[in-house]
Structure 1
Amino acid sequence: MKDSLVRVENLSHRYSIQWAVKDISFEIPEKGIYGLLGSNGAGKSTTMNIISGVLKQSKGDVFVKGINLSKKPIEAKKQIGFLPQNPPLYLDTTVEEYLTNCAHLRKIDSKQVKEAVDHVLEKCAISHFRKRLIKNLSGGYRQRVGIAQAIIHEPAFVILDEPTNGLDPNQILEIRKLVKEIAEDRAVLLSTHMLTEVHAVCDHIFMIEHGKMVFSGKAEDFDNYLAPNTVFVRLLEMPTVEELLKNIEGLENVEEFGGPNYRLKFSVLNQAVERVVQASVKYDWRLEEIRAEKNSLNDVFAALSKK
Protein backbone atom coordinates (compact mmCIF):
# COMPACT_ATOMS: atom_id res chain seq x y z
CA MET A 1 0.00 0.00 0.00
CA LYS A 2 1.37 3.39 -1.04
CA ASP A 3 2.02 5.74 1.90
CA SER A 4 0.65 9.28 1.84
CA LEU A 5 3.03 12.13 1.01
CA VAL A 6 2.21 13.68 4.39
CA ARG A 7 0.53 12.07 7.38
CA VAL A 8 -0.26 13.91 10.62
CA GLU A 9 -1.29 11.74 13.56
CA ASN A 10 -2.88 13.03 16.79
CA LEU A 11 -0.93 16.29 16.68
CA SER A 12 -1.15 18.44 19.81
CA HIS A 13 0.81 21.41 21.06
CA ARG A 14 0.56 23.44 24.23
CA TYR A 15 1.93 26.90 24.99
CA SER A 16 2.26 27.13 28.77
CA ILE A 17 -1.11 25.78 29.97
CA GLN A 18 -3.18 26.44 26.83
CA TRP A 19 -3.48 23.98 23.96
CA ALA A 20 -2.96 25.68 20.59
CA VAL A 21 -3.84 22.50 18.68
CA LYS A 22 -5.37 19.37 20.12
CA ASP A 23 -5.40 15.90 18.57
CA ILE A 24 -5.32 16.91 14.90
CA SER A 25 -5.00 14.17 12.28
CA PHE A 26 -5.05 14.45 8.50
CA GLU A 27 -3.37 13.12 5.37
CA ILE A 28 -2.13 14.62 2.14
CA PRO A 29 -2.12 11.59 -0.15
CA GLU A 30 -0.75 13.03 -3.39
CA LYS A 31 0.27 16.12 -5.30
CA GLY A 32 -2.19 19.00 -5.58
CA ILE A 33 -3.15 22.15 -3.67
CA TYR A 34 -4.55 21.77 -0.17
CA GLY A 35 -6.05 24.78 1.61
CA LEU A 36 -5.64 25.38 5.34
CA LEU A 37 -8.33 27.65 6.79
CA GLY A 38 -9.15 28.96 10.23
CA SER A 39 -9.88 32.14 12.16
CA ASN A 40 -7.11 34.15 13.78
CA GLY A 41 -5.81 32.13 16.73
CA ALA A 42 -7.37 28.91 15.46
CA GLY A 43 -4.04 27.03 15.39
CA LYS A 44 -3.06 27.29 11.71
CA SER A 45 0.35 28.84 12.27
CA THR A 46 1.21 26.38 15.02
CA THR A 47 0.24 23.48 12.77
CA MET A 48 2.32 24.81 9.87
CA ASN A 49 5.33 25.49 12.07
CA ILE A 50 5.21 21.94 13.41
CA ILE A 51 4.85 20.16 10.08
CA SER A 52 7.60 22.33 8.57
CA GLY A 53 9.95 21.34 11.40
CA VAL A 54 10.22 24.84 12.88
CA LEU A 55 8.40 23.92 16.11
CA LYS A 56 8.53 20.72 18.17
CA GLN A 57 5.06 19.41 19.01
CA SER A 58 3.95 18.40 22.52
CA LYS A 59 2.34 15.19 21.26
CA GLY A 60 1.71 13.30 18.04
CA ASP A 61 3.71 12.53 14.90
CA VAL A 62 4.31 13.99 11.45
CA PHE A 63 5.45 11.77 8.58
CA VAL A 64 6.71 13.12 5.26
CA LYS A 65 7.05 10.41 2.59
CA GLY A 66 6.96 7.91 5.45
CA ILE A 67 9.80 9.63 7.36
CA ASN A 68 9.08 10.58 10.97
CA LEU A 69 9.91 14.28 11.29
CA SER A 70 10.73 14.00 15.00
CA LYS A 71 13.02 10.99 14.71
CA LYS A 72 14.75 11.86 11.42
CA PRO A 73 14.39 15.64 11.08
CA ILE A 74 17.21 16.23 8.59
CA GLU A 75 16.04 13.48 6.24
CA ALA A 76 12.39 14.59 6.50
CA LYS A 77 13.19 18.28 5.97
CA LYS A 78 14.85 17.45 2.66
CA GLN A 79 11.30 16.80 1.44
CA ILE A 80 9.81 20.03 2.86
CA GLY A 81 9.81 23.59 1.53
CA PHE A 82 8.41 26.44 3.61
CA LEU A 83 7.45 30.03 2.87
CA PRO A 84 6.47 31.84 6.11
CA GLN A 85 4.02 34.74 6.04
CA ASN A 86 7.00 37.11 6.19
CA PRO A 87 9.51 35.70 3.66
CA PRO A 88 13.01 35.17 5.17
CA LEU A 89 14.78 37.44 2.70
CA TYR A 90 18.17 39.13 3.04
CA LEU A 91 17.35 42.47 1.45
CA ASP A 92 20.94 43.61 0.85
CA THR A 93 21.85 40.61 -1.30
CA THR A 94 21.02 40.10 -4.94
CA VAL A 95 18.39 37.54 -5.89
CA GLU A 96 21.09 35.20 -7.22
CA GLU A 97 23.28 35.56 -4.13
CA TYR A 98 20.35 34.87 -1.83
CA LEU A 99 19.19 31.77 -3.71
CA THR A 100 22.75 30.46 -3.95
CA ASN A 101 23.06 30.76 -0.18
CA CYS A 102 19.70 28.95 0.22
CA ALA A 103 20.93 26.15 -2.02
CA HIS A 104 24.01 25.64 0.16
CA LEU A 105 21.86 25.71 3.33
CA ARG A 106 19.74 22.99 1.76
CA LYS A 107 22.86 20.83 1.29
CA ILE A 108 22.61 20.81 -2.50
CA ASP A 109 25.80 19.44 -4.02
CA SER A 110 28.16 22.32 -4.90
CA LYS A 111 28.35 21.16 -8.52
CA GLN A 112 24.57 21.39 -8.83
CA VAL A 113 23.98 24.71 -7.07
CA LYS A 114 24.12 26.91 -10.20
CA GLU A 115 21.76 24.60 -12.05
CA ALA A 116 19.32 24.61 -9.10
CA VAL A 117 19.41 28.42 -8.88
CA ASP A 118 18.92 28.84 -12.64
CA HIS A 119 15.98 26.40 -12.53
CA VAL A 120 14.03 28.25 -9.80
CA LEU A 121 14.84 31.65 -11.32
CA GLU A 122 13.19 30.47 -14.53
CA LYS A 123 10.38 28.63 -12.75
CA CYS A 124 9.42 31.73 -10.75
CA ALA A 125 9.96 34.09 -13.71
CA ILE A 126 12.65 36.18 -11.97
CA SER A 127 15.70 35.40 -14.15
CA HIS A 128 15.80 39.02 -15.35
CA PHE A 129 16.17 40.17 -11.73
CA ARG A 130 18.98 37.81 -10.76
CA LYS A 131 21.50 40.65 -10.27
CA ARG A 132 19.06 43.03 -8.58
CA LEU A 133 19.14 43.69 -4.84
CA ILE A 134 16.10 42.15 -3.16
CA LYS A 135 15.32 45.43 -1.36
CA ASN A 136 14.71 47.02 -4.78
CA LEU A 137 12.05 44.48 -5.79
CA SER A 138 8.30 45.02 -5.59
CA GLY A 139 6.21 43.01 -3.12
CA GLY A 140 5.10 40.58 -5.80
CA TYR A 141 8.64 39.79 -6.92
CA ARG A 142 9.87 39.48 -3.34
CA GLN A 143 7.16 36.88 -2.87
CA ARG A 144 8.42 35.04 -5.95
CA VAL A 145 11.93 35.00 -4.47
CA GLY A 146 10.44 33.59 -1.26
CA ILE A 147 8.70 30.84 -3.19
CA ALA A 148 11.90 30.13 -5.12
CA GLN A 149 13.83 29.45 -1.88
CA ALA A 150 11.04 27.09 -0.79
CA ILE A 151 11.36 24.89 -3.88
CA ILE A 152 15.06 25.18 -4.73
CA HIS A 153 15.83 21.71 -3.30
CA GLU A 154 12.91 20.08 -5.19
CA PRO A 155 10.87 19.08 -2.11
CA ALA A 156 7.87 16.76 -2.36
CA PHE A 157 5.85 18.99 -0.03
CA VAL A 158 5.67 22.81 0.06
CA ILE A 159 3.98 24.93 2.73
CA LEU A 160 2.96 28.47 1.74
CA ASP A 161 1.67 30.80 4.46
CA GLU A 162 -0.41 33.67 3.03
CA PRO A 163 1.54 33.83 -0.26
CA THR A 164 -0.70 36.56 -1.75
CA ASN A 165 -0.98 38.71 1.37
CA GLY A 166 -0.58 42.42 0.58
CA LEU A 167 -0.36 41.95 -3.20
CA ASP A 168 -2.38 43.84 -5.79
CA PRO A 169 -4.97 42.00 -7.96
CA ASN A 170 -2.58 41.45 -10.87
CA GLN A 171 0.16 40.11 -8.58
CA ILE A 172 -2.35 37.79 -6.91
CA LEU A 173 -3.28 36.28 -10.27
CA GLU A 174 0.40 35.77 -11.12
CA ILE A 175 1.15 34.06 -7.78
CA ARG A 176 -1.94 31.85 -8.19
CA LYS A 177 -0.65 30.73 -11.58
CA LEU A 178 2.80 30.02 -10.11
CA VAL A 179 1.34 28.00 -7.21
CA LYS A 180 -0.69 25.90 -9.65
CA GLU A 181 2.45 25.21 -11.71
CA ILE A 182 4.39 24.19 -8.58
CA ALA A 183 1.58 21.83 -7.55
CA GLU A 184 1.88 19.92 -10.83
CA ASP A 185 4.93 18.15 -9.38
CA ARG A 186 4.30 18.18 -5.61
CA ALA A 187 1.80 18.72 -2.80
CA VAL A 188 1.24 22.31 -1.70
CA LEU A 189 -0.35 23.30 1.61
CA LEU A 190 -1.70 26.83 1.24
CA SER A 191 -2.76 28.84 4.28
CA THR A 192 -4.82 31.94 3.63
CA HIS A 193 -7.54 34.16 5.11
CA MET A 194 -8.89 34.87 1.63
CA LEU A 195 -11.74 32.49 0.85
CA THR A 196 -11.70 33.55 -2.80
CA GLU A 197 -8.09 32.34 -2.91
CA VAL A 198 -9.10 28.92 -1.60
CA HIS A 199 -11.94 28.70 -4.09
CA ALA A 200 -9.66 29.71 -6.97
CA VAL A 201 -6.79 27.26 -6.45
CA CYS A 202 -7.45 24.53 -3.87
CA ASP A 203 -8.47 20.93 -4.59
CA HIS A 204 -8.96 19.97 -0.94
CA ILE A 205 -9.63 21.98 2.22
CA PHE A 206 -8.70 21.53 5.88
CA MET A 207 -10.23 23.88 8.43
CA ILE A 208 -9.04 24.29 12.02
CA GLU A 209 -10.98 26.06 14.74
CA HIS A 210 -10.10 26.30 18.44
CA GLY A 211 -7.19 23.94 17.80
CA LYS A 212 -9.34 21.16 16.32
CA MET A 213 -10.07 19.96 12.82
CA VAL A 214 -13.64 20.94 11.91
CA PHE A 215 -13.58 20.17 8.19
CA SER A 216 -11.58 17.97 5.84
CA GLY A 217 -12.82 17.35 2.33
CA LYS A 218 -12.85 18.37 -1.31
CA ALA A 219 -13.35 22.01 -2.22
CA GLU A 220 -16.78 21.29 -3.68
CA ASP A 221 -17.81 19.57 -0.43
CA PHE A 222 -16.83 22.75 1.43
CA ASP A 223 -18.95 24.82 -0.97
CA ASN A 224 -21.93 22.54 -0.35
CA TYR A 225 -21.43 22.09 3.41
CA LEU A 226 -24.56 24.16 4.12
CA ALA A 227 -27.76 23.23 2.35
CA PRO A 228 -28.93 26.31 0.39
CA ASN A 229 -32.14 27.83 1.71
CA THR A 230 -32.69 31.07 -0.20
CA VAL A 231 -34.37 31.96 -3.49
CA PHE A 232 -33.89 35.16 -5.45
CA VAL A 233 -37.02 36.43 -7.23
CA ARG A 234 -38.04 39.39 -9.36
CA LEU A 235 -41.77 40.12 -9.08
CA LEU A 236 -43.02 42.93 -11.33
CA GLU A 237 -46.32 43.24 -9.48
CA MET A 238 -44.72 43.92 -6.12
CA PRO A 239 -46.44 42.21 -3.17
CA THR A 240 -45.87 43.27 0.42
CA VAL A 241 -43.64 41.25 2.74
CA GLU A 242 -46.74 40.24 4.70
CA GLU A 243 -48.41 38.90 1.54
CA LEU A 244 -45.35 36.82 0.67
CA LEU A 245 -45.05 35.35 4.16
CA LYS A 246 -48.76 34.58 4.30
CA ASN A 247 -49.13 32.95 0.89
CA ILE A 248 -45.91 30.94 0.37
CA GLU A 249 -45.65 27.79 2.48
CA GLY A 250 -42.37 27.36 4.40
CA LEU A 251 -41.22 30.94 3.84
CA GLU A 252 -39.44 32.26 6.96
CA ASN A 253 -38.01 35.63 5.98
CA VAL A 254 -38.07 38.14 3.15
CA GLU A 255 -35.23 40.52 2.26
CA GLU A 256 -36.14 43.42 -0.02
CA PHE A 257 -33.50 44.75 -2.42
CA GLY A 258 -35.56 47.68 -3.65
CA GLY A 259 -37.84 47.61 -6.66
CA PRO A 260 -39.09 44.18 -7.69
CA ASN A 261 -36.19 42.15 -6.24
CA TYR A 262 -36.53 39.90 -3.18
CA ARG A 263 -34.53 37.21 -1.39
CA LEU A 264 -36.82 34.58 0.14
CA LYS A 265 -35.49 32.41 2.97
CA PHE A 266 -37.07 29.01 3.55
CA SER A 267 -36.79 26.49 6.36
CA VAL A 268 -36.18 23.83 3.67
CA LEU A 269 -35.47 24.68 0.03
CA ASN A 270 -36.99 21.46 -1.34
CA GLN A 271 -39.83 22.41 -3.74
CA ALA A 272 -39.62 26.05 -2.63
CA VAL A 273 -39.15 27.25 -6.21
CA GLU A 274 -42.32 25.41 -7.28
CA ARG A 275 -44.29 26.94 -4.40
CA VAL A 276 -43.13 30.47 -5.35
CA VAL A 277 -44.12 29.92 -8.99
CA GLN A 278 -47.54 28.58 -7.98
CA ALA A 279 -48.19 31.54 -5.65
CA SER A 280 -47.06 34.00 -8.33
CA VAL A 281 -49.51 32.56 -10.83
CA LYS A 282 -52.32 32.45 -8.26
CA TYR A 283 -51.87 36.05 -7.08
CA ASP A 284 -50.67 37.51 -10.40
CA TRP A 285 -47.31 38.75 -9.07
CA ARG A 286 -45.85 38.59 -12.62
CA LEU A 287 -42.74 36.54 -11.86
CA GLU A 288 -39.91 37.61 -14.17
CA GLU A 289 -36.90 35.81 -12.64
CA ILE A 290 -36.33 33.11 -10.05
CA ARG A 291 -33.23 31.17 -8.97
CA ALA A 292 -32.11 29.11 -5.98
CA GLU A 293 -29.00 30.66 -4.40
CA LYS A 294 -25.91 28.88 -3.08
CA ASN A 295 -24.52 29.77 0.31
CA SER A 296 -21.45 31.97 0.13
CA LEU A 297 -18.03 30.77 1.26
CA ASN A 298 -18.33 33.30 4.09
CA ASP A 299 -21.55 31.59 5.25
CA VAL A 300 -19.82 28.20 5.29
CA PHE A 301 -16.77 29.59 7.11
CA ALA A 302 -18.99 31.26 9.71
CA ALA A 303 -20.98 28.07 10.29
CA LEU A 304 -17.86 25.93 10.72
CA SER A 305 -16.20 28.45 13.02
CA LYS A 306 -19.50 28.87 14.92
CA LYS A 307 -19.30 32.64 14.58
Structure 2
Amino acid sequence: MRKYYYLLSFLLYPLLIHADATCAAEDGVCTLTNNEEASFHSPPACRTVVLSSSVYDIYSNGGSAQAYKPHQPEKNEICNPSLYESSRYRTASWPFYSSSSARAPQLKLTIQPWRCEESTCCEWQNANVTLEIWQTRPDGTYSSLRPGQQEGDCRAHQQGDIFTFTTVVPGSTGILGGLGPYGFDLAPYGPPVLHILAQHPDMEPLLLNVPILTQRTTLESKPFRYSDWRGAAWTQPQVDVAPYHIAMWEPNSAANSIDIHLDVYLQPQKDRVSLTKKLCRSWIYGLPSSFFVEPISVCAASMLDFFAL
Protein backbone atom coordinates (compact mmCIF):
# COMPACT_ATOMS: atom_id res chain seq x y z
CA MET A 1 0.00 0.00 0.00
CA ARG A 2 2.88 2.35 0.85
CA LYS A 3 4.37 2.11 -2.64
CA TYR A 4 1.06 3.34 -4.14
CA TYR A 5 1.13 6.28 -1.74
CA TYR A 6 4.63 7.23 -2.92
CA LEU A 7 3.59 6.87 -6.57
CA LEU A 8 0.54 9.12 -6.05
CA SER A 9 2.67 11.72 -4.23
CA PHE A 10 5.19 11.71 -7.05
CA LEU A 11 2.47 12.30 -9.66
CA LEU A 12 0.76 15.08 -7.67
CA TYR A 13 3.96 16.88 -6.61
CA PRO A 14 4.19 19.19 -9.67
CA LEU A 15 0.57 20.22 -9.22
CA LEU A 16 1.13 21.00 -5.55
CA ILE A 17 4.18 23.11 -6.34
CA HIS A 18 2.30 24.99 -9.07
CA ALA A 19 -0.61 25.65 -6.74
CA ASP A 20 1.71 26.96 -4.02
CA ALA A 21 3.63 29.30 -6.34
CA THR A 22 0.70 31.51 -7.27
CA CYS A 23 0.40 35.16 -6.49
CA ALA A 24 -2.38 37.71 -6.24
CA ALA A 25 -1.38 41.35 -6.54
CA GLU A 26 -3.57 44.15 -5.25
CA ASP A 27 -2.74 47.87 -5.20
CA GLY A 28 0.76 47.24 -6.47
CA VAL A 29 1.59 44.70 -3.75
CA CYS A 30 2.67 41.22 -4.77
CA THR A 31 2.00 38.84 -1.88
CA LEU A 32 4.37 35.95 -1.22
CA THR A 33 2.56 32.62 -1.27
CA ASN A 34 5.53 30.32 -1.78
CA ASN A 35 7.99 29.14 0.88
CA GLU A 36 10.10 32.10 2.06
CA GLU A 37 13.01 29.70 2.65
CA ALA A 38 13.07 28.40 -0.94
CA SER A 39 16.43 27.75 -2.56
CA PHE A 40 18.07 30.93 -3.79
CA HIS A 41 18.88 29.44 -7.19
CA SER A 42 15.34 28.05 -7.51
CA PRO A 43 13.45 31.18 -6.45
CA PRO A 44 9.74 31.21 -5.62
CA ALA A 45 7.40 32.67 -8.21
CA CYS A 46 6.37 35.54 -5.96
CA ARG A 47 7.74 37.66 -3.16
CA THR A 48 6.19 40.43 -1.08
CA VAL A 49 7.23 43.55 -2.97
CA VAL A 50 5.72 46.99 -2.45
CA LEU A 51 6.11 48.86 -5.74
CA SER A 52 6.88 52.56 -5.54
CA SER A 53 4.56 55.23 -6.85
CA SER A 54 4.26 56.18 -10.50
CA VAL A 55 6.51 59.20 -9.80
CA TYR A 56 9.90 57.51 -9.90
CA ASP A 57 13.14 59.10 -8.75
CA ILE A 58 16.45 57.23 -8.64
CA TYR A 59 16.98 58.46 -5.07
CA SER A 60 13.50 57.52 -3.87
CA ASN A 61 14.79 54.30 -2.28
CA GLY A 62 17.24 56.02 0.06
CA GLY A 63 20.44 55.26 -1.87
CA SER A 64 23.26 57.77 -2.15
CA ALA A 65 25.50 58.04 -5.23
CA GLN A 66 27.81 60.63 -3.70
CA ALA A 67 30.89 58.35 -3.93
CA TYR A 68 29.92 56.80 -7.28
CA LYS A 69 32.64 56.56 -9.95
CA PRO A 70 31.67 55.29 -13.42
CA HIS A 71 33.61 53.03 -15.79
CA GLN A 72 35.09 50.70 -13.17
CA PRO A 73 36.61 47.29 -14.05
CA GLU A 74 34.48 44.22 -14.66
CA LYS A 75 35.47 41.79 -11.94
CA ASN A 76 34.04 39.73 -9.09
CA GLU A 77 36.28 41.18 -6.37
CA ILE A 78 35.13 44.52 -4.95
CA CYS A 79 37.73 45.11 -2.21
CA ASN A 80 40.63 42.66 -2.46
CA PRO A 81 40.50 40.91 0.97
CA SER A 82 44.26 40.27 1.00
CA LEU A 83 44.94 44.03 0.83
CA TYR A 84 42.90 44.76 3.96
CA GLU A 85 43.85 41.93 6.31
CA SER A 86 45.70 44.34 8.62
CA SER A 87 43.39 47.35 8.15
CA ARG A 88 41.42 48.74 11.05
CA TYR A 89 37.72 47.99 10.80
CA ARG A 90 35.64 50.99 11.93
CA THR A 91 31.91 50.68 12.40
CA ALA A 92 29.14 52.53 14.21
CA SER A 93 25.98 50.98 15.64
CA TRP A 94 24.49 54.36 16.62
CA PRO A 95 25.08 57.94 15.38
CA PHE A 96 27.49 59.35 17.96
CA TYR A 97 30.24 56.77 18.38
CA SER A 98 32.30 54.56 16.09
CA SER A 99 34.66 51.86 17.26
CA SER A 100 37.49 49.92 15.63
CA SER A 101 38.47 46.27 15.64
CA ALA A 102 41.42 44.46 14.17
CA ARG A 103 39.95 42.49 11.28
CA ALA A 104 37.08 43.15 8.91
CA PRO A 105 35.07 40.02 8.05
CA GLN A 106 35.19 38.79 4.48
CA LEU A 107 31.96 38.85 2.51
CA LYS A 108 30.75 36.43 -0.14
CA LEU A 109 27.87 38.14 -1.91
CA THR A 110 25.36 36.74 -4.39
CA ILE A 111 22.84 39.09 -6.01
CA GLN A 112 19.81 38.06 -8.05
CA PRO A 113 17.76 40.69 -9.96
CA TRP A 114 13.98 40.42 -10.29
CA ARG A 115 11.65 42.13 -12.77
CA CYS A 116 8.57 43.55 -11.03
CA GLU A 117 5.74 44.69 -13.29
CA GLU A 118 3.01 46.67 -11.59
CA SER A 119 0.12 44.54 -10.34
CA THR A 120 1.90 41.32 -11.23
CA CYS A 121 4.33 38.97 -9.59
CA CYS A 122 8.07 39.53 -9.73
CA GLU A 123 9.98 37.28 -12.12
CA TRP A 124 13.68 36.51 -12.27
CA GLN A 125 15.35 39.01 -14.63
CA ASN A 126 17.72 36.49 -16.18
CA ALA A 127 19.57 38.49 -18.84
CA ASN A 128 21.26 41.74 -19.76
CA VAL A 129 21.52 43.36 -16.33
CA THR A 130 24.50 45.60 -15.56
CA LEU A 131 25.28 45.80 -11.88
CA GLU A 132 27.76 48.28 -10.40
CA ILE A 133 28.77 47.99 -6.76
CA TRP A 134 31.05 50.10 -4.60
CA GLN A 135 31.79 50.52 -0.91
CA THR A 136 34.08 52.05 1.67
CA ARG A 137 37.27 50.37 2.76
CA PRO A 138 37.09 48.80 6.25
CA ASP A 139 38.27 52.10 7.78
CA GLY A 140 35.27 53.99 6.32
CA THR A 141 37.05 55.80 3.46
CA TYR A 142 36.40 55.57 -0.29
CA SER A 143 38.99 55.17 -3.01
CA SER A 144 39.74 58.20 -5.18
CA LEU A 145 37.00 59.70 -7.35
CA ARG A 146 39.54 61.07 -9.86
CA PRO A 147 39.76 59.38 -13.27
CA GLY A 148 42.82 57.15 -13.58
CA GLN A 149 43.51 56.96 -9.84
CA GLN A 150 42.91 53.87 -7.70
CA GLU A 151 40.73 52.35 -10.42
CA GLY A 152 38.84 49.28 -9.22
CA ASP A 153 39.78 49.76 -5.56
CA CYS A 154 36.63 48.68 -3.68
CA ARG A 155 34.63 49.19 -6.89
CA ALA A 156 33.49 46.69 -9.52
CA HIS A 157 30.80 45.89 -12.07
CA GLN A 158 29.42 42.78 -13.77
CA GLN A 159 26.91 41.97 -16.51
CA GLY A 160 24.60 38.97 -16.50
CA ASP A 161 21.77 37.48 -14.49
CA ILE A 162 23.14 36.21 -11.15
CA PHE A 163 26.11 38.06 -9.69
CA THR A 164 28.76 36.85 -7.25
CA PHE A 165 31.28 39.07 -5.52
CA THR A 166 33.93 38.68 -2.84
CA THR A 167 34.97 41.60 -0.65
CA VAL A 168 35.47 42.75 2.93
CA VAL A 169 32.71 44.23 5.03
CA PRO A 170 32.60 48.04 4.59
CA GLY A 171 33.27 50.54 7.36
CA SER A 172 30.98 53.32 8.59
CA THR A 173 31.14 56.91 7.41
CA GLY A 174 30.27 60.12 9.25
CA ILE A 175 28.66 63.36 8.17
CA LEU A 176 31.38 63.90 5.52
CA GLY A 177 30.30 60.68 3.85
CA GLY A 178 33.72 59.04 3.91
CA LEU A 179 35.09 61.73 1.57
CA GLY A 180 36.83 63.95 4.11
CA PRO A 181 40.48 64.95 3.49
CA TYR A 182 42.90 62.16 4.45
CA GLY A 183 40.07 60.06 5.82
CA PHE A 184 38.88 62.71 8.29
CA ASP A 185 35.23 62.36 9.31
CA LEU A 186 32.89 63.48 12.09
CA ALA A 187 29.79 62.30 13.93
CA PRO A 188 26.98 61.62 13.37
CA TYR A 189 27.88 58.24 11.89
CA GLY A 190 25.74 55.80 9.96
CA PRO A 191 25.65 52.07 9.28
CA PRO A 192 28.19 50.63 6.84
CA VAL A 193 26.57 49.99 3.46
CA LEU A 194 27.10 48.44 0.04
CA HIS A 195 26.12 50.79 -2.78
CA ILE A 196 24.41 49.05 -5.72
CA LEU A 197 23.38 50.50 -9.07
CA ALA A 198 21.48 48.04 -11.29
CA GLN A 199 20.56 48.84 -14.90
CA HIS A 200 18.64 47.10 -17.68
CA PRO A 201 17.59 48.59 -21.06
CA ASP A 202 13.89 48.16 -20.31
CA MET A 203 13.94 48.89 -16.58
CA GLU A 204 14.41 51.91 -14.36
CA PRO A 205 17.92 52.17 -12.92
CA LEU A 206 17.87 51.05 -9.30
CA LEU A 207 20.13 52.69 -6.70
CA LEU A 208 20.38 51.06 -3.27
CA ASN A 209 22.27 51.36 0.00
CA VAL A 210 22.29 47.93 1.68
CA PRO A 211 23.36 48.07 5.37
CA ILE A 212 25.96 45.48 6.40
CA LEU A 213 26.11 45.94 10.17
CA THR A 214 27.24 42.92 12.19
CA GLN A 215 27.66 41.68 15.73
CA ARG A 216 31.39 41.70 16.44
CA THR A 217 31.62 38.14 17.82
CA THR A 218 28.88 36.16 16.05
CA LEU A 219 28.77 38.18 12.77
CA GLU A 220 24.98 38.04 12.89
CA SER A 221 23.13 40.96 11.34
CA LYS A 222 22.03 43.71 13.71
CA PRO A 223 20.03 46.92 13.22
CA PHE A 224 21.40 50.45 13.46
CA ARG A 225 20.13 52.11 16.64
CA TYR A 226 18.21 55.36 16.22
CA SER A 227 17.91 57.21 12.92
CA ASP A 228 20.67 57.91 10.43
CA TRP A 229 21.32 61.65 10.77
CA ARG A 230 24.06 62.09 8.17
CA GLY A 231 23.63 64.56 5.34
CA ALA A 232 22.53 61.95 2.82
CA ALA A 233 19.77 60.84 5.19
CA TRP A 234 18.32 64.19 6.26
CA THR A 235 18.22 65.62 2.74
CA GLN A 236 15.85 62.93 1.44
CA PRO A 237 12.89 60.93 2.81
CA GLN A 238 13.50 57.97 5.09
CA VAL A 239 12.65 54.64 3.46
CA ASP A 240 10.69 52.00 5.36
CA VAL A 241 10.58 49.37 2.60
CA ALA A 242 13.46 49.35 0.10
CA PRO A 243 13.20 47.21 -3.08
CA TYR A 244 15.56 44.47 -1.97
CA HIS A 245 15.40 41.39 0.21
CA ILE A 246 18.23 39.65 2.08
CA ALA A 247 17.30 36.06 1.32
CA MET A 248 20.19 34.60 3.31
CA TRP A 249 22.70 35.86 5.87
CA GLU A 250 24.99 33.02 6.92
CA PRO A 251 27.85 33.98 9.26
CA ASN A 252 30.93 31.86 9.92
CA SER A 253 32.70 33.36 12.92
CA ALA A 254 35.47 30.75 12.82
CA ALA A 255 36.41 31.77 9.27
CA ASN A 256 35.51 35.44 9.90
CA SER A 257 33.26 35.48 6.85
CA ILE A 258 29.60 35.99 5.90
CA ASP A 259 27.63 34.56 2.97
CA ILE A 260 24.82 36.86 1.83
CA HIS A 261 22.18 36.23 -0.86
CA LEU A 262 20.40 39.37 -1.96
CA ASP A 263 17.33 39.83 -4.19
CA VAL A 264 16.92 43.22 -5.89
CA TYR A 265 13.70 44.36 -7.56
CA LEU A 266 13.70 46.28 -10.86
CA GLN A 267 10.68 48.16 -12.21
CA PRO A 268 9.63 48.89 -15.81
CA GLN A 269 11.14 51.93 -17.49
CA LYS A 270 8.94 55.02 -17.22
CA ASP A 271 10.91 57.39 -19.44
CA ARG A 272 13.98 57.55 -21.68
CA VAL A 273 15.93 60.05 -19.60
CA SER A 274 19.66 59.27 -19.50
CA LEU A 275 21.30 57.90 -16.37
CA THR A 276 23.37 61.08 -16.01
CA LYS A 277 20.23 63.25 -15.87
CA LYS A 278 18.65 60.88 -13.36
CA LEU A 279 21.74 61.04 -11.16
CA CYS A 280 22.22 64.80 -11.58
CA ARG A 281 18.71 66.04 -10.91
CA SER A 282 19.60 69.42 -9.34
CA TRP A 283 19.83 72.70 -11.23
CA ILE A 284 22.49 73.94 -8.80
CA TYR A 285 25.06 71.49 -7.52
CA GLY A 286 26.42 72.09 -4.02
CA LEU A 287 23.21 72.57 -2.05
CA PRO A 288 22.78 70.00 0.75
CA SER A 289 19.98 68.30 -1.17
CA SER A 290 22.39 67.56 -4.03
CA PHE A 291 25.85 67.50 -2.49
CA PHE A 292 25.15 64.61 -0.11
CA VAL A 293 23.41 62.32 -2.60
CA GLU A 294 24.48 63.12 -6.18
CA PRO A 295 27.84 61.88 -7.49
CA ILE A 296 30.59 64.50 -7.59
CA SER A 297 32.48 62.55 -10.26
CA VAL A 298 29.49 62.78 -12.66
CA CYS A 299 27.60 65.94 -11.73
CA ALA A 300 30.47 68.27 -10.82
CA ALA A 301 33.72 66.69 -11.98
CA SER A 302 35.45 70.10 -12.02
CA MET A 303 35.13 70.18 -8.21
CA LEU A 304 37.64 67.33 -8.02
CA ASP A 305 40.34 69.88 -8.90
CA PHE A 306 39.75 71.62 -5.56
CA PHE A 307 39.32 68.67 -3.18
CA ALA A 308 41.60 65.77 -2.27
CA LEU A 309 39.17 63.04 -3.26
Q: Which has the higher helix share?
A: 1
Give the TM-score taking structure 1 as reference length: 0.26
Give the TM-score taking structure 2 as reference length: 0.26
Larger radius of gyration: 1
Higher relative contact order (CA 8 A, sep 6+): 2
